């Protein structure tokens, strides 16, 4: 038993020594490779293209994604209860303002109107009779044939008859208005975008029958951040690109900016109006709007191609007098259109690497690539 334990210990020692040797060889190879790479790159000049830090005006372009929305849309409903007798429109139809969209069954309403009209005639007759009675009572009270109380009674009956006539006329006018409202009309010109009910359905007051939208112009509603708000102004021209048409561009204009922020995000809505006279654009299409912001005048810039991302920081390689590069971290403003606005990190006139920096490291030597020159 002791012999076996001793043998096991020797096996473990041998395995540990073997693993150590292998580990050392791997480490030695890596170190040697690193040293050889350092020797190869030491003194090697990388071919690059150069440019300069300059000043110029920049026109930032803000980009927003949104859906196209109608300039105006509304659900059209009946003002009275009733069964839909006829529905004259379908989805996609164009209607002018005042066009009859649907007609409700009016048989019951027509009967009520006739009944109310009869009540009005009855009230008119009662009033006429009360007027005659009041005239007789007035003559008789002057002759002393009846008492003052009898005259007052006749006058009160006349006044009651006037009230009854006004009530009857009001009821008749109300029923006639309901009868007129049995015809559902379009309040504005537009396209029928949705039909909710069919002929034969019973429509309750306020229940939508169809939806109408004015699509002669469409809206792109862009969400603008608090920091972007000073860059956007009403009447600014905009470019609207439609994915459904392969990015085709349409001209638009910023027509409105919301007066108050939406909390808690503290964002604002900018409305961009796009003319759509031929109806080519459809509500619900995905759109991308590009709005030019305020011009940044005479700002420090570097070519966008010179930027190198290092640990989530934008940097550039600056060339010194010895044709060696120093990697500097930049604080940037707007980036776009091939240029990057520099707030801090480099100075005007400094030479920077604009191409060929994919293999560069801080302190590397450089040389101009064939056919390259300063920009």
Q: In tens digits, what is the pLDDT along the chain, a chain of 375 residues?
A: 445 666 777 777 777 777 877 777 777 776 665 555 454 444 567 788 999 999 999 999 999 999 999 999 999 998 888 899 999 999 999 999 999 999 988 777 767 767 888 888 898 999 899 889 888 888 887 887 878 888 888 889 988 989 998 998 888 788 777 777 788 999 999 999 999 999 999 999 889 999 999 999 999 998 999 988 888 899 999 999 998 999 899 999 999 999 999 889 899 999 999 999 988 999 999 999 999 988 899 999 999 999 999 888 999 999 998 889 999 999 999 999 899 999 999 999 999 999 988 888 888 888 876 444 555
Domain boundaries along the sequence of the chain: 45-59+296-368, 66-70+215-292, 107-169
Q: Which pLDDT value is given to residue 357? A: 83
CATH superfamily assigned to domain 107-169: Helix hairpin bin (1.10.287.470)
Phi/psi at 191 (5° precision):
-105, 140
pTM score = 0.62
Phi/psi at 326 (5° precision):
-125, 125
For residue 360, give every residue at least 6 positions away whose Cβ sits within 8 Å of its Cβ, in sequence order, or none: 46, 48, 317, 325, 327, 353, 366
Phi/psi at 42 (5° precision):
-65, 125
Phi/psi at 40 (5° precision):
-65, -45
Q: How far apart are CA 98 and CA 318, in angstroms?
A: 71
User: Could you tell me the CA-to-CA distances from 29 to 15, 20, 35, 41, 109 in Å, in that order?
Assistant: 21, 14, 10, 18, 101
User: Could you tell me the CA-to-CA distances from 8 to 15, 16, 41, 171 in Å, in that order?
Assistant: 11, 12, 50, 113
Q: Which pLDDT value is given to residue 44? A: 63
**Long-range contact set of residues 111-117: C-beta below 8 Å, sequence gap at least 24:** 112/175, 113/172, 113/175, 113/176, 113/179, 116/168, 116/171, 116/172, 116/175, 117/172
Phi/psi at 32 (5° precision):
-65, -40
Residue showing tokens 């920009």: 375
Q: From the CB of residue 243, how many other CB atoms can be counted at a distance below 10 Å?
A: 12
* 76 neighbors 208 (Cβ within 8 angstroms): yes
CATH fold label, 45-59+296-368: 2.40.420
Q: How far apart are CA 307 and CA 314, in angstroms?
A: 6
**Per-position DSSP letters for 322-348, written without gaps between them:** TSBEEEEE-EEEEEETTEEEEEESS-T
Q: Dig out the tokens for 8 from the structure.
A: 């096991």
> DSSP H helical segments within the chain, as ranges?
2-41, 107-143, 148-180
Q: How far apart are CA 175 and CA 285, in angstroms?
A: 44
Residue showing tokens 């920081």: 313
Helices 148-180 and 107-143 pack at an angle, to 10 degrees, of 160
**Per-position DSSP letters for 26-63, written without gaps between them:** HHHHHHHHHHHHHHHHTTPEEEEEEEE-EEEEE--EEE
Looking at the domain covering 66-70+215-292, what would its CATH class be? mainly beta
């Amino acid at each position: 038993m002791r012999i076996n334990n001793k043998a096991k210990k020797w096996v473990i020692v041998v395995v540990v020594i073997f693993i150590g040797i292998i580990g050392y060889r791997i480490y030695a190879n890596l170190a040697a490779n690193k040293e050889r790479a350092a020797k190869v790159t030491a003194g090697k000049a990388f071919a690059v293209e150069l440019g300069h830090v300059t000043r110029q005006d920049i026109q930032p372009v803000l980009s927003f994604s949104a859906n196209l929305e109608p300039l105006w849309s509304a659900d059209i409903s009946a003002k009275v209860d009733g069964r839909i007798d006829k529905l004259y429109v379908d989805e996609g139809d164009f209607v002018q303002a005042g066009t009859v969209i649907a007609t409700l069954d009016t048989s019951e309403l027509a009967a009520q109107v006739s009944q109310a009209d009869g009540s009005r005639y009855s009230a008119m007759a009662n009033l006429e009779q009360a007027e005659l009675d009041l005239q007789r009572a007035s003559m008789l009270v002057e002759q002393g044939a009846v008492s003052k109380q009898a005259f007052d009674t006749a006058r009160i009956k006349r006044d009651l008859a006037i009230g009854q006539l006004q009530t009857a006329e009001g009821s008749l006018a109300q029923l006639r208005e309901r009868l007129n409202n049995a015809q559902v009309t379009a309040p504005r010109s537009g396209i029928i975008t949705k039909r909710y009910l069919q002929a034969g359905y019973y429509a309750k007051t306020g229940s939508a029958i169809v939806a109408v939208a004015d699509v002669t112009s469409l809206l792109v509603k862009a969400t603008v951040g608090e920091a972007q708000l000073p860059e956007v102004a009403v009447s600014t021209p905009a470019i609207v690109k439609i994915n459904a048409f392969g990015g085709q561009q349409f001209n638009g204009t910023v027509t409105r900016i919301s007066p108050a922020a939406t909390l808690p995000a503290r964002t604002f809505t900018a409305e961009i109006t796009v003319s759509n006279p031929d109806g080519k654009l459809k509500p619900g299409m995905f759109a991308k709007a590009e709005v030019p912001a305020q011009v940044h005048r005479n700002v420090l810039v570097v070519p966008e191609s010179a930027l190198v991302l290092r640990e989530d920081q934008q940097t550039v390689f600056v060339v010194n007098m010895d044709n060696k590069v120093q990697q500097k971290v930049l604080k940037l403003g707007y980036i776009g259109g091939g240029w990057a606005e520099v707030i801090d990190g480099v100075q005007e006139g400094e030479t920077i690497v604009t191409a060929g920096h994919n293999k560069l490291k801080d302190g590397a030597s450089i040389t101009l690539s064939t056919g390259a020159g300063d920009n």
